[in-house]
Structures are given as structure tokens and as C-alpha cells.
Structure 1
Amino acid sequence: MSYIGEISSLLAACVWAIATLIYGQFSHQLSSLQLNLIKGLLSIGLMLIAVLMLQDAPVEFQTNHIYILMFSGVLGIAVGDTAYFASLRRIGPQKTLLLESLAPPITGIIAMLFLQKHLLLTQWLGVFLTIVGVTWVVTKSSTTSDTSTEMTPLLTNTTSSLTRLDYKGISFGLLASFCQATGVVLSHYALAETNISGLWGAIIRLTAGTFAVCIILMITNHKQLKIISALSKLTAKSLKLLFIAIFIGTFLALWLQQIALKFAHPATAQTLIATSPIFVLLLLFMQGKKVSSSALVGTLLSFLGIIFIFY
């Protein structure tokens, strides 16, 4: 049995974990829409270069599948990613990733209701265990070493974050999860029914989503379209970090996500992609940092869930 979709999902989770932490550094230097526009434009260019290098010629497919991919891009990227960045800006990566863990069950319900895509009972158990494990890691974990590391904000609870609730930030996070889930199901339908490659699927979705972001900026605040001016305010180091985040977090992650959605059940793919906090924890461990026992419990639960999903 081939596990191309599931493996692609885990790889996407790994690269997205790194990118999320880097993006968090720019949440107060660039607006959510600006960040979404910049990553979209640069990633489209990278994907077109990849198409030429891989000689991935577009295949013939029905126009309605293109429209579905475009709509999923507008919903998942223009609306969903902008809401995600807005949530990241207001409540930080920890709570944003926690709210993102709601996307897999929403994806499963939507796929079951509208596409008649059903998971086995053991797979639903895997989805449940994985989400519980990720939620446990995000809410309970903390590092016991150097708190200056860029990765600790994801795993560290502060008194202020526990006592203050930003309802607008939470609403953005919930909106991002719903848009992400709906976009994933639409994308799965279009990709699974055609010979469209994961790379072309990513290009179509990203182009439609980025174009929608441009329209939103033209209507709401056209001054934010001056992205060159916004980027010029960043240091050389910040620009390099931003490029790295876009390369791995949008170019690679979106490409891997589309491959996952083409070959795996959308709820399974979304669940495995949602394991990104676990990969952050593993990165910390590989750096020699000590993590709490509760973090290990959450990690073991997630791995147990992944085993059930693959079973």
C-alpha cells in the first residue's frame, strides 16, 4: 500500500513548523495581508521555476476543476491564511496552532457530508489521539532551558497569555481553521478527480489566493500594496529569514500539501499536517534542550495516533 499522501503530510508539517516560528517574527513588522501577498508572489515565482526545471507540463482537465481549485485558493489562502497571520499577530503561535488543531475534524466532517469520504473507525481514533497529543503539547509544554531561543514561545505559557483573552484573535484562528478545512476538501476533490499534479494544483490555488489578496488590499488599504517599501524597512538578516520562511513554509509546504491531498483522505492529510508542534518539540530535543514530561506524553499520544492512521 502506498503512503505517498501521508508521508507528504508529515513532511509538510515539519517544514511548516519551522516556517511558523519564523513568520511570527514578522507579525508586527508587516500586516497580515502584506505578509500573505509577499509570500504568495514569491512562491508563485519559485513554483514556475520548478515547473520549468521539472518539465511538468499542464495536462488537459475540465474547466470546473480549475474553478474549484481557484475557489479553494481564495478561501484557504486569501481568507484562511490572512486570518491565520492575524491570529498569529494577536495571540501568538501557541494559541494559533492550538486553534488550528480543530481543522482536521472539521475536514473529516465536511468530506463525509459532501464527498461521501469515510474514514475507518481506527483512523478516526488515530485522528482523535493525534489531535489530543498536539493539543497537549501546545497547552502544557514548556522548556526548562534557555528561554531566549526563537522556538520557546510556541511551548511556553506566560501569565499574561493565560489571564488575557483576545476574542478577536481567537475568532481569526477559528476562521482560519474553517477556511483551511473547506479549502482542503475542495482541493482534494479537484486533484483526486483529475491528472493535475500537486505542483500545478499549488500554482492554481496560490495564484487565485494571491490575486484575491491584491483585490482586498486595493479595496481596504491600497497603500499596503507598496510591498517594496515595506520590505526596505527590514534588515538584511530579516529579509533572509523571510525568504527562508516563504521557501519552506509556502513553496515546499503548499506543494507537499497538494501531493498529500491528491493521494490521501483529506481528514488524514490535515491531521498529519497539524502535527507541526510535535516537530518543533523534536527540533528542540535535537538541539539538546530539555523538554517537560507532559510534552513527551503529548508526543507519544500523537505518534500513537499516527500509527492508527497508517494502520
Structure 2
Amino acid sequence: MLLGEMLSIGSALAWATAVIIYKRLGETLPPLTLNLVKNLLVLGMLVLTVQVLGTAPPRLDALGLGVTLLSGVLGMACADSLYFAALNRLGASRAGIIGNLYSPFVIGLSVLFLGESMRPLQWLGFALVSAGVLVVSRARGHATELDRRRLRQGVALGVAAIFLMAAAIVLIKPWLGGQPVLWIVLLRTLGGLLGLLVLFAWRREAPWRTLSGRRVRWPLLLLAAFVGQYLAVLMWIGGYKYAPATVAAILNETSSVFIVLLAALSLREPLGARKLLGVACTLAGVACLLLA
């Protein structure tokens, strides 16, 4: 396999592992706080790595720098916070299946803004992925109105998060060529942190006060930041650097299978027929997108 494809699959596995950890952390930390601390830890890791490797900074003009920072605001400050909120409401396996909307969103945005085109088989893949998400987003017949409302909120938050993630990577794709991946990830993380600080200011909350009185499992948080952000995002950006955007997006979707299996093993989330049908539909859609 080519380097880009290998990096994309590795990113999917790393992100799936982190989602399970973030589900645990979300039991005690609100989404914005979890996202802020996670990004601070990742920024420290990236700065240390840049210093150790002596990587030269990217050659970006003012527009490229602005786009890179904006990509971080959309993809890390906004999208990650929304995803953590969805994770708290839906559980890891449902949130993972909704994540399969990522490749259709990337393909659609690539058609609109990068000049790529969609074939009939890709449209079929989009429909199958959407059908899989609809299957897992429907509550069971005996669910209470509160459960249904929580499920609808989680699905809406999850879809919004995945759309922003897709928009962020399509936005930055034209600037990836010839640039050091490590620095691009560092600048995106910085943009994400700036965006989060703006969100805290808008909510008139002090970031450090949200941690007071809460039980923070720092070893687990450090592991999630390293695996789910540092490693996963480096491989994610690398996948888009060395492979076409549509191919990288499709291979990223294998994370849903990893998430469902890991959630069943470690979080004891049930593997019901509805989830399995949702996984089957979304994977069939991903296969159509890959074969198109």
C-alpha cells in the first residue's frame, strides 16, 4: 500500500482508540474543557517534537497561514467540542457510525471547491452511508421522549461536528503540498486553541475555573491526547498529503468498525442488530465510494 493509504488507516485506528478514552473522560469533564486541555497537551507535544527534530517552518503566505489557523478553529475548536458533546449523548458506537458521514461530506465539498467530480457509484455510497446513520439514529419503540430528544440532539451535534471536520480538511488541502506536516498540525492546533479561548470568552467562563472541583484523570487524558490527537492527526494530515482527498477520507471511515468493536469490548456497549445494520450500510457505502 502507498504511504498515504497506510497513514489514513493508522489514523482511523488511533482515533477509534481515543474515542473510547474520551467517552470515559466525558463522564467528568464538559466538552469545551476536555477539548481545551487536550489541545494544550497536544500543542506541548508538537512544540517539543519540532524542537527535537529541528523541522523548518512552512513557507506560507499570509493567506495560507490564515487558512491553516481557520482550519484549526473549525476542525478542532468547534468540531471536536461538538463531537465530545455528541459522544456524551450517543455513546461511542453510535457516534462512530455517524462519523461515516465524513467521507461523503469531504467528497461533496471537494466537488464544490476542489474541482473533483462524483460518479454514480459515489452517489450510491453517499446514500448507503446516510441510510446507515439514519438506522442508528432512530430510538427503539419503548424509548421515552427524553431518550428520543437526547438521541436527536446527539445526532444533530454529531452531524454538525463531522461536517466541520470535513470542511476544515478540504479548506486546507490546497496548502498541504510541499509543507512540513508537523508544522501544519502545530498551526492547526494553535488555531484550535485560539478558537476555544474565544468560545470561553463568549460564554464568559474562565477555562481554569471549569477544572476546579472536578476529578481529572490526567494519565488517561494524556494518553488520549497522545494517541487520539498527536498520532492520529499527524497520520490524518499525512494521509491527505500523500493520497487524494477522496481516498484518504474513505479509508478514515474504517474507524467506525474499530469504534463499535472497542466500545463493545471496553465500554460494554451492546452490539445490537440496529448498530450492526448501521455499520453494514455505512461500510457498503464506503466500499462504493472506494470502488468508484
Relative to the length of structure 2, the TM-score reads: 0.81
Structure 1 position 69, deviation (Å): 1.0
Which of 238, 258, 261 matches 1:279?
258
Report 1:94-113 matches (<5 A): 94-113=93-112
Partner of 2:197: 214
Structure 1 position 243, deviation (Å): 1.0
Contact 1:133/1:302, CA 8 A, preserved across alignment: no
Contact 1:133/1:298, CA 8 A, preserved across alignment: no
Relative to the length of structure 1, the TM-score reads: 0.77
Which of 185, 193, 201 matches 1:202?
185
Q: Counterpart amino acid of 1:246?
A: A
CA offsets 1:89-127 (integer angstroms, 9 cap, x no match): 2222233223222121111011111110236777x3896
| Aligned counterparts of 2:15 and 2:132: Cα–Cα separation in 1 | 15
Report 1:144-159 matches (<5 A): none
CA offsets 1:139-189 (integer angstroms, 9 cap, x no match): 49xxxxxxxxxxxxxxxx996599624233222112101111100101212
Report 1:81-230 matches (<5 A): 81-118=80-117, 124=122, 131=129, 139=136, 160=143, 164-166=148-150, 167-192=152-177, 195-226=178-209, 229=212
| Aligned counterparts of 2:76 and 2:5: Cα–Cα separation in 1 | 22
CA offsets 1:225-257 (integer angstroms, 9 cap, x no match): 3366366x33xxx32111111110011111111
Structure 1 position 34, deviation (Å): 0.4
| Aligned counterparts of 2:128 and 2:231: Cα–Cα separation in 1 | 23
Query: Is the deviation greater in 89-98 or in 293-302?
Result: 293-302
Partner of 2:15: 16
| Aligned counterparts of 2:155 and 2:281: Cα–Cα separation in 1 | 28
The yes-or-no answer on 1:244 pairing with 2:253 is no
Contact 1:126/1:306, CA 8 A, preserved across alignment: no
DSSP 3-state at the match of 2:10: helix
| Aligned counterparts of 1:77 and 1:168: Cα–Cα separation in 2 | 20
Question: Structure 1's 8 and 71: CA in aligned 2 closer, same or farther, altered over 3 A?
Answer: same
Percent identity (aligned): 26
Matched length: 285
Q: List gaps (5 residues or longer) in structure 2.
A: none
Report 1:254-265 matches (<5 A): 254-265=233-244
| Aligned counterparts of 1:215 and 1:259: Cα–Cα separation in 2 | 28
The yes-or-no answer on 1:28 pairing with 2:27 is yes
| Aligned counterparts of 2:242 and 2:99: Cα–Cα separation in 1 | 22
Query: Is the deviation greater in 33-42 or in 46-55?
Result: 46-55
Partner of 1:309: 290
Q: Counterpart amino acid of 2:91?
A: G
Question: Structure 1's 301 and 89: CA in aligned 2 closer, same or farther, altered over 3 A?
Answer: closer
| Aligned counterparts of 1:263 and 1:125: Cα–Cα separation in 2 | 25
Structure 1 position 221, deviation (Å): 3.5
After superposition, the CA RMSD in angstroms is: 3.5
Structure 1 position 298, deviation (Å): 5.0
Structure 1 position 79, deviation (Å): 1.0
Q: Counterpart amino acid of 2:207?
A: Q
| Aligned counterparts of 2:92 and 2:263: Cα–Cα separation in 1 | 16
Structure 1 position 36, deviation (Å): 0.7
Contact 2:125/2:285, CA 8 A, preserved across alignment: no
Question: Structure 1's 130 and 221: CA in aligned 2 closer, same or farther, altered over 3 A?
Answer: same
Q: List gaps (5 residues or longer) in structure 1.
A: 141-156
